[in-house]
């Protein structure tokens, strides 16, 4: 999965119903993307029988998304971290701040000129890191990094599963132009021809 670039970093606010199922707002641009690092934690179990391995289970538990961006604007800071703007227009972060989970979308450029598109369905961010440095003989850019925990979403898809990520590669078999062109108009919802029986 070699990629040579990344851009179009968006987020969508989440509204939760009483049962916790998510409804996504229209995506908006978060910032200009510099870097994204996604690491995944798996819940693993191995069953041994007859002196050997009988079953191995590896399931998604959570992930960590670290984003390097050019700047986090006031609106995104409020939405992602729970910071508030006071009456003088100053962004204030407190120890009691807690941001809401959001969906995060971005794309990565492949060497063949096509893009791989991503949506992470539920990410809860912490306070951004701030790096500052005095100007010396040369100019060094200091940019913020924000880290979030990636979780599965509460709302089941058409197969009754709880997705945590969707990804599509432009030009791959079965990936329509409509899917790609509409990637940022709304958070991607998995589409299946059949749905599980009720109660299943």
Structure confidence by residue, pLDDT tens digits, 142-176: 556 788 889 999 999 999 999 999 999 998 999 99
Backbone angles phi, psi at 28, to 5 degrees: -130, 155
Q: Taken in order 109, 115, 116, 117, is the CA torsion positive or negative?
A: positive
pLDDT at 57 over 70: yes
User: How far is it, in rounded angstroms, from Cα 8 to Cα 3?
Assistant: 15
Structure confidence by residue, pLDDT tens digits, 80-104: 888 888 888 888 877 777 778 999 9
Q: Taken in order 83, 85, 90, 92, is the CA torsion positive or negative?
A: negative
Structure confidence by residue, pLDDT tens digits, 118-130: 999 999 987 765 5
Question: Of 131 and 127, which is predicted with more confidence?
Answer: 127
pLDDT at 137 over 80: no
User: How far is it, in rounded angstroms, from Cα 43 to Cα 64?
Assistant: 15
Tokens describing residue 120: 């992470």
Average pLDDT value for the chain: 81
pLDDT of residue 164: 92
Q: How sure is the predictor about 1, in pLDDT bands with cuts at 50, 70 and 90?
A: low
| pTM of the shown model | 0.76
C-alpha dihedral, 58 to 64 to 68 to 69, nearest 10°: 110
pLDDT of residue 77: 81
User: How far is it, in rounded angstroms, from Cα 35 to Cα 65?
Assistant: 10
Q: Taken in order 99, 33, 65, 46, is the CA torsion positive or negative?
A: positive
pLDDT at 110 over 80: yes
Tokens describing residue 71: 């700047």
């Amino acid at each position: 999965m070699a990629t040579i670039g990344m851009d179009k970093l968006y987020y969508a606010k989440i509204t939760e119903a009483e049962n916790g199922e998510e409804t996504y707002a229209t995506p908006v641009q978060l910032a200009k993307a510099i870097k994204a690092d996604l690491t995944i934690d798996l819940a693993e179990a191995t069953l041994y029988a007859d002196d050997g391995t009988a079953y191995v289970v590896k399931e998604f538990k959570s992930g960590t998304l670290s984003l390097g961006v050019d700047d986090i604007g006031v609106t995104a800071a409020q939405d992602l971290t729970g910071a508030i703007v006071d009456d003088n227009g100053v962004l204030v972060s407190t120890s009691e701040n807690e941001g809401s989970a959001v969906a995060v979308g971005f794309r990565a450029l492949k060497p063949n000129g096509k893009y791989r598109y991503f949506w992470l369905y539920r990410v809860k961010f912490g306070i951004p890191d701030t790096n500052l440095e005095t100007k010396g003989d040369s100019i060094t850019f200091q940019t913020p990094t924000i880290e979030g925990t990636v979780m599965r979403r509460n709302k089941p898809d058409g197969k009754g599963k709880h997705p945590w990520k969707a990804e599509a590669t432009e030009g791959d078999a079965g990936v329509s132009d409509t899917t790609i062109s509409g990637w940022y108009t709304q958070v991607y919802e998995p589409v299946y021809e059949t749905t599980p029986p009720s109660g299943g």
